[in-house]
């Protein structure tokens, strides 16, 4: 075949179709498997083995190591995962991404004609796209992506010629004498650049496999390109981390160190590793990628399976070596990227506005953790106000007033940012359960922001009380302190529910606390009115006392509303679950 500009553009179009198919397939399966992936992320990252298994399974499911690593960067940024846990998941993701090489080899370069299933996949997908169930529609998207993936692979192969059609190039390649070490570095660099430019290690891999199958590069050169692609794929996570906090940047840098370190040690072991993989490939499929004649029909089968096995063996070996040095890497990236003090510790939600967003199911993992941090922030405001109320030192009261005013501004910003983020999530394809969770989170966020406003109002009231030198009676002070203490218990239950999945036991405890507060509130209110009638309070202290007491009552309602929103969400999910059974 002649290879002109049209062939080049067609090959690039085929590559685009392949990448789009991979993306659609990945997003569809993420929506279908979202709850299961959420379970993986929440339950299987506590141990090293669990984290690696988590990364492996998640990447095999979504067929994108970049999606998994970017997800980990976002989770570290949000505080959902610790740095060491994220590194374990990333190591597993590197192993999981080798499944793509196996999939491409099975579909595109095996002796069996699997490629004929591309259009039938689209035929299967078409009716599913119009189903009422969002899960079935997402499954249809998966089949659309899989069909386009196959068609893209077929077109890439069809539009890239073999080396036999260009004898001049074959002679030129044969005549070039380059030091093996330098040649290794050249192809590692080419693989890395391909991946950085295309922003898809899967696309780079399919180009590598096609070039190898068509004789433009040999097995060793293809293996070197695969190593480069392992470095290039870290760029995606680093770009995502640039708009995150220092913890997100550390996770991304750890990923880079992991992959670069692997290429460095492989540089020393490369000849032995290549021989071992060739022997293993010969044992598995009956052909060695080092011995088969490039002109034979078996060559592309042997060389591509050799590359796939090399990819698997390299990432397994690299993980086995690296896992013993995880703590050292954590310490290294902490030194390379030291915390900037309060800048990195201060609560922020900026990452959800500009950072990468996955599927709604996975995005809500971040939102859930942020909601728990929001609840913790309001409890901190309670602690600061209690210190303000109890302190008699002007220096301490002034400091607490400044803190509470600052935190009120933060709560306003957080509520707006969470609402904006959840609106973005809701634009995706939502299941009924996910839609209910979004509504619940919006209500919870609004209630928490109102709590911040109420503490601000109480702070202004206390500031005026101090400036006007208004004094409480012992009874007034004792009653407010009692309300604050009961609020503390209510906040504890609320934040436990926000942090973990709500349980019937926690709901019962929340209702009991609300009952106690409401009962005591009525007793205190009656006592207050009686004292006013008897003239026990002066008018100024009575007004301040009434304002603080009413604010405490409203905060109690807001805290209860948060728990009720979570309870209603749980009841809705249980009802939906029961309806299925």
Give the tens place of pLDDT for each residue, 211-259: 887 777 888 888 889 898 888 888 877 776 665 667 778 888 888 888 8
Q: 237: which 2 tokens? A: 């996570």
Give the tens place of pLDDT for each residue, 171-197: 555 555 455 678 788 888 888 888 888
Answer whether 171's CB lies under 8 Å from 51's CB: no
Q: How far is CA 506 from CA 149, 291, 441, 510, in A?
A: 48, 67, 18, 6
Which pLDDT score, from 0 to 100, does residue 385 have?
A: 92
Give the tens place of pLDDT for each residue, 541-555: 778 888 888 888 889
Tell me what percent of the chain is helix, strand and coil, each rounded to the nearest 5.
Answer: 85, 0, 15
Q: How far is CA 349 from the centre of its chain?
A: 14
Which pLDDT score, from 0 to 100, does residue 369 have?
A: 77
Q: Cα angle at 403 between 399 and 409, to 5 degrees?
A: 150
Which pLDDT score, from 0 to 100, does residue 579 have?
A: 44
Where does the pLDDT of residue 343 fall: very low under 50, low under 70, confident under 90, or very high at 90 and above? very low
Q: Which residue has the tokens 């009956």?
A: 286
Three-class SS of 42-68: HHCCCCHHHHHHHHHHHHHHHCCHHHH
Which pLDDT score, from 0 to 100, does residue 252 have?
A: 82
pTM of the model: 0.60
Q: How far is Cα 213 from Cα 318, in angstroms, rounded to an integer?
A: 26
Which pLDDT score, from 0 to 100, does residue 354 have?
A: 47
Which pLDDT score, from 0 to 100, does residue 549 have?
A: 82
Q: How far is CA 178 from CA 134, 220, 221, 226, in A?
A: 56, 14, 12, 20
Which pLDDT score, from 0 to 100, does residue 382 have?
A: 92
Can you tell me the mean pLDDT for 472-491? 85
Q: 362: which 2 tokens? A: 């996975």
Which pLDDT score, from 0 to 100, does residue 334 have?
A: 84
Burial of residue 409, with CB atoms counted within 10 A of its CB: 0-12 exposed, 13-18 middle, 19 or more buried: exposed
Q: How far is Cα 132 from Cα 115, in angstroms, rounded to an integer?
A: 30
Q: Is 167 left (phi over 0), alpha (psi -120 to 50) or beta?
A: alpha
Can you tell me the mean pLDDT for 261-265? 89
Q: How far is Cα 497 from Cα 507, in angstroms, rounded to an integer?
A: 8
Which pLDDT score, from 0 to 100, does residue 108 have?
A: 66
Can you tell me the mean pLDDT for 31-47? 62
Q: 383: which 2 tokens? A: 């602690």
Which pLDDT score, from 0 to 100, does residue 352 have?
A: 53
Q: How far is Cα 421 from Cα 438, in angstroms, rounded to an integer?
A: 10
Give the tens place of pLDDT for each residue, 407-466: 888 888 788 778 878 877 776 666 677 778 888 888 888 899 999 999 999 999 888 888
Which pLDDT score, from 0 to 100, does residue 454 have?
A: 92
Q: Mean pLDDT of all residues in the chain?
A: 77
Q: Which residue has the tokens 């052909």?
A: 287
Q: Helix, strand, or coil here: 130? A: coil
**Residue 361 scores a pLDDT above 60:** yes
Give the tens place of pLDDT for each residue, 555-568: 988 888 887 777 66
CATH 1.20.58.220 domain range(s) in the chain: 351-580
**Residue 581 scores a pLDDT above 60:** no
Give the tens place of pLDDT for each residue, 516-544: 777 777 777 777 666 666 666 667 777 88
Contacts 24+ apart (CB under 8 A), 294-301: 294/163, 294/215, 294/218, 295/164, 299/213, 299/215, 300/109, 300/212, 300/213, 300/214, 301/109, 301/110, 301/111
Answer whether 97's CB lies under 8 Å from 67's CB: no
Q: How far is Cα 3 from Cα 161, in angstroms, rounded to an integer?
A: 7
Q: Cα angle at 465 between 462 and 470, to 5 degrees?
A: 140
DSSP assignment, residue 357? -
Which pLDDT score, from 0 to 100, does residue 373 have?
A: 83
Tally helices (H) and strands (E) across the chain.
24, 0
The length of the chain, given as a count of residues: 581
**Residue 514 scores a pLDDT above 60:** yes
Where does the pLDDT of residue 351 fall: very low under 50, low under 70, confident under 90, or very high at 90 and above? very low
Q: Which residue has the tokens 């496999």?
A: 209
Q: How far is CA 18 from CA 153, 159, 339, in A?
A: 6, 13, 41
Contacts 24+ apart (CB under 8 A), 255-260: 255/69, 255/87, 255/90, 256/231, 257/329, 257/332, 257/333, 258/87, 258/90, 258/91, 258/94, 258/318, 258/322, 258/329, 259/94, 259/230, 259/231, 259/233, 259/234, 259/318, 260/231, 260/234
Return the CATH superfamily for domain 351-580: Phosphate transport system protein phou homolog 2; domain 2 (1.20.58.220)
**Residue 295 scores a pLDDT above 60:** yes
Helix axes 298-322, 219-232, angle to 10 degrees: 40
Which pLDDT score, from 0 to 100, does residue 451 have?
A: 92
Q: Which helix (H) or strand (E) holds 326?
A: helix 326-336
More confident residue, 174 or 384: 384
Give the tens place of pLDDT for each residue, 41-83: 555 556 778 788 888 887 777 767 766 776 676 666 655 567 7
More confident residue, 440 or 363: 440
Answer whether 74's CB lies under 8 Å from 351's CB: yes
């Amino acid at each position: 075949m002649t290879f002109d500009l049209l062939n080049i553009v067609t090959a690039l179009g085929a590559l685009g179709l392949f990448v789009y198919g991979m993306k659609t397939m990945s997003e569809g399966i993420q929506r279908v498997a979202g709850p299961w992936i959420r379970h993986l992320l929440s339950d299987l990252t506590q141990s090293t083995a669990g984290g690696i298994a988590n990364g492996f399974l998640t990447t095999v499911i979504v067929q994108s190591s970049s999606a998994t690593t970017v997800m980990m960067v976002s989770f570290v940024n949000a505080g959902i995962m610790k740095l060491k846990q994220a590194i374990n998941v990333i190591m597993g993701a590197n192993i999981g991404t080798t499944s793509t090489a196996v999939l491409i080899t099975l579909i595109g370069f095996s002796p069996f004609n699997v490629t004929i299933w591309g259009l039938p996949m689209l035929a299967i997908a078409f009716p599913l796209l119009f189903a009422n169930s969002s899960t079935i529609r997402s499954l249809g998207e998966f089949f659309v992506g899989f069909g386009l993936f196959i068609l893209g692979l077929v077109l890439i192969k069809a539009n890239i010629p073999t080396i036999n059609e260009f004898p001049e190039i074959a002679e030129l390649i044969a005549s070039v004498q380059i030091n093996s070490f330098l040649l290794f570095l050249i192809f590692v660099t080419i693989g890395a650049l391909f991946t950085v430019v295309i922003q898809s290690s899967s696309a780079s891999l399919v180009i590598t496999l096609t070039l190898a199958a068509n004789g433009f590069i040999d097995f060793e050169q293809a293996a070197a390109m695969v190593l480069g692609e392992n470095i290039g794929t870290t760029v995606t996570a680093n770009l995502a981390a640039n708009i995150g906090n220092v913890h997100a940047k550390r996770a991304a840098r750890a990923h880079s160190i992991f992959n670069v370190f692997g290429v460095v040690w492989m540089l020393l072991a490369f000849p032995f590793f290549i021989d071992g993989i060739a022997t293993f490939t010969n044992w598995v499929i009956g052909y060695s990628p080092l011995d088969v004649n490039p002109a034979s029909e078996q060559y592309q089968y042997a060389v591509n399976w050799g590359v796939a096995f090399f990819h698997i063996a390299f990432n397994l070996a690299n993980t086995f070596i690296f896992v013993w040095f995880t703590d050292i890497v954590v310490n290294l990236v902490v030194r390379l990227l030291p915390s900037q003090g309060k800048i990195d510790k201060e609560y922020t939600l900026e990452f959800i506005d500009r950072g990468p967003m996955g599927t709604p199911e996975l995005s809500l993992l971040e939102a859930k953790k942020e909601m728990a941090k929001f609840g913790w922030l309001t409890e901190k405001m309670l602690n600061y106000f209690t210190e303000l109320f109890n302190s008699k030192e002007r220096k301490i009261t002034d400091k607490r007033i400044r803190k509470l005013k600052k935190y009120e501004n933060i709560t306003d910003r957080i509520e707006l940012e969470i609402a904006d983020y959840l609106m973005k999530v809701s634009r995706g394809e939502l299941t009924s359960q996910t839609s209910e969770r979004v509504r619940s989170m919006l209500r919870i966020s609004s209630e928490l922001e109102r709590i911040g406003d109420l503490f601000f109002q109480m702070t202004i009231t206390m500031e005026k009380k101090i400036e006007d030198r208004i004094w409480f009676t012992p009874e007034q002070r004792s009653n407010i302190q009692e309300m604050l203490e009961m609020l503390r218990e209510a906040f504890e239950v609320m934040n436990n529910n926000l942090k973990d999945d709500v349980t019937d036991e926690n709901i019962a405890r929340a209702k009991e606390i609300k009952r106690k507060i409401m009962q005591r509130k009525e007793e205190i209110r009656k006592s207050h009115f009686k004292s006013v009638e008897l003239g026990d309070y002066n008018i100024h202290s009575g007004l301040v006392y009434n304002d603080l007491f009413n604010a405490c009552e409203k905060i109690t309602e807001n805290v209860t509303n948060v728990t009720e929103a979570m309870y209603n969400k749980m009841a809705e999910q249980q009802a939906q679950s029961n309806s299925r059974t």
